[in-house]
Structure 1
């Protein structure tokens, strides 16, 4: 394994990491992948929609060199001219912290804005976020739905519930209710159910290499296979809680098809009342992304395509591409985002009804 210190150590590890093998197996150019996926993310943020001095805040951001993320339709979002967490110490760092702490902006990775942009929740709706902490997606939805829409932000882990409550308070959001349940066992509400659900499930983070360098050393192909059942179970619970005609977004910060397309294939077989629907591209106009996969191959622990899929650790037939043509057609409606597409992290989203 490569040394973890310095850029040379990172690049050396990227050359041999199973994560690079995963990217290659998906048809991503190896050199482009390593070039972009080893670089720090730019600082990005959302401008709070209903803050009383939004004009002043916007001027401060533009003065810092902020550039609008034009594909963030319905929410002003910006990319700043420095790496995440590396604001200059000329007053910029202090001002940016002040803007965030006072609820004028929310620092958020650009890719993680996608679930709410895709779901497009509306006022007067009731939305459930199954795995809400630290709260960037729940608060994003709440701002768009205010003042008449309500977000139920659920988080099972006590320490993360505190972060969720802090972010709700930081933004002075009165339409967010916080609950603490295992996402697989969230209780029912009176019929007809939730209008919209966010299932941004726990994952291996294989698409987070630009903000979490440890992924280059820690990620292995068996990780997604160990997460699969948890992801299916959380998404299935969401499907059970959704009202007829309601919409649910499933998302991960992983590019592993076992955590993404394979989960969606299993979900629509397990919950036959659910269907994958087309994403309205006008909600993210200008974003470069890719259709979901309909073919992929299991990898061994070195990140190589295995000649005998049944021999990889924790193998299950459900991790393979489905043979049903209708399901394959549904998977093509999902979307993948790669780091080199828009100078972001990677992401996966699927919209279901």
Structure 2
């Protein structure tokens, strides 16, 4: 006896969350109902072909010619079943390597041709030729411009779908048996998740992967000797900081978000996210790229973190304009203003000047929109929303480290010396 289908479906409503994002103006009022409907719909299954697998071209052609013509009109479907659609390309992913499909498990079990297709996908995944990955999760590595000689750090790597992308980019242009000069270091704070990451990466069988277990905000600096024998920091050409977050952008596949979401969750994570992004910049080589991302729509976890880091590294960090990259990807610009909600009182919102002295530690300045948000070009961040291209929600920004940085205390010393010298000169 199987009663797994007897449980009532979780109601996909959360008034607090809906009210919160209305106030934040995540979407225009005219799009609100479309946005909510998309958030409540089931997320399509998405997967991508590894560009470095031997049979990448053959798999792509099979998907284009053999499986896009699936016809299952002879199958009796229940009234609540959606019309079956064949796999289709994700238009913004390069080289036609990413695909999506909306086929229920019920349909697969009841249809021989779909069951064969399902077994085909499983077999190709086990050999490392395919990777199942949420579409929006594929975006951050695509913006990093990884080359075969780069040192790449994935700070919060498990379960490893983005790490596998980064490894594929490092192996690109090296041929089937070539070994790149670069390396991908995949870190995660959870030891069990590190073990899962290693298991997933075995499919790729790369010598260019190192897995380590540290809190992301405390990843140690590595040191090497220069040609003249001096000890120098070994920084990374590319750093991915896909930080722990509330995950409300995953509500289409993780329905528990609807039941558990509160505004206090983002406030509890903000400090850690800021620490991780700060460490990412410190570990990045001058001229290198840091990509910061979350699967959250909340500006407290996104624009607030990015603006605080930009101000902290104001002389050596800038937001890059990525509007020309992935041109077929629909995205929304970053917010220039937002509000901070009280943890407990339902209708109480704060501006920075409204925070009582006893709550300064609960609502730090870094949570609030900066006065110079336009000068920081926060609109260069991107927010991907579910109703634009039938995806989850995601936030991504690309930071370029334009020069080497120094600790804030050292920066103050330099500024103090400069002021003193200017005083002497003018005096």
Tell me the equivalent position of 2:63. Answer: 61
Kindly state the Cα deviation for residue 305 of structure 1 after the two structures are TM-superposed.
6.0
After superposition, the C-alpha distances for 1:46-81 in whole angstroms (9 at most, x for unaligned) are 101111122332244343432121211257111123
Tell me the distance in 2 between the aligned counterparts of 1:75 and 1:172: 24
Task: Map 1:292-311; keep pairs closer than 5 Å.
Answer: 292-300=334-342, 306-308=348-350, 310=355
Give secondary structure in 1 for the equivalent of 2:100: strand
Task: Map 1:15-164; keep pairs closer than 5 Å.
Answer: 16-27=14-25, 28=27, 29-62=31-64, 63-64=66-67, 65-73=86-94, 76-82=97-103, 88-89=108-109, 90-146=115-171, 147=174, 148=180, 149-164=182-197
Tell me the distance in 2 between the aligned counterparts of 1:99 and 1:277: 38
Give secondary structure in 2 for the equivalent of 1:283: coil
Kindly state the Cα deviation for residue 192 of structure 1 after the two structures are TM-superposed.
5.1
TM-score normalised by length of structure 1: 0.90
2:351 is aligned with 1:330: no
User: Does the 8 Å contact 1:222/1:314 carry over to 2?
Assistant: no
List runs of 5+ in structure 2 lacking aligned partners.
Answer: 1-6, 68-85, 110-114, 175-179, 224-232, 401-427
Q: 1:199 to 1:58 in 2, by over 3 A?
A: same
Tell me the equivalent position of 1:10. Answer: 11
Task: Map 1:198-277; keep pairs closer than 5 Å.
Answer: 198-277=240-319
Q: 1:87 to 1:199 in 2, by over 3 A?
A: farther
1:321 to 363, 369, 379: 369
Please identify, of 28-37 and 42-51, the stretch whose mean Cα deviation from structure 2 is larger.
28-37
Q: How many pairs are equivalent?
A: 344
User: Does the 8 Å contact 2:47/2:98 carry over to 1?
Assistant: yes
Give secondary structure in 1 for the equivalent of 2:35: helix
List runs of 5+ in structure 1 lacking aligned partners.
Answer: none
Larger radius of gyration: 2
Tell me the distance in 2 between the aligned counterparts of 1:282 and 1:86: 40
Q: 1:228 to 1:325 in 2, by over 3 A?
A: closer
Give secondary structure in 1 for the equivalent of 2:290: strand
Higher relative contact order (CA 8 A, sep 6+): 1
Kindly state the Cα deviation for residue 301 of structure 1 after the two structures are TM-superposed.
5.5
Tell me the distance in 2 between the aligned counterparts of 1:303 and 1:111: 33
Tell me the equivalent position of 1:343. Answer: 390
Give secondary structure in 2 for the equivalent of 1:18: helix
Tell me the distance in 2 between the aligned counterparts of 1:78 and 1:318: 39
TM-score normalised by length of structure 2: 0.75
- Give the RMSD, CA atoms, in angstroms: 2.4
Kindly state the Cα deviation for residue 281 of structure 1 after the two structures are TM-superposed.
3.5
2:196 is aligned with 1:175: no
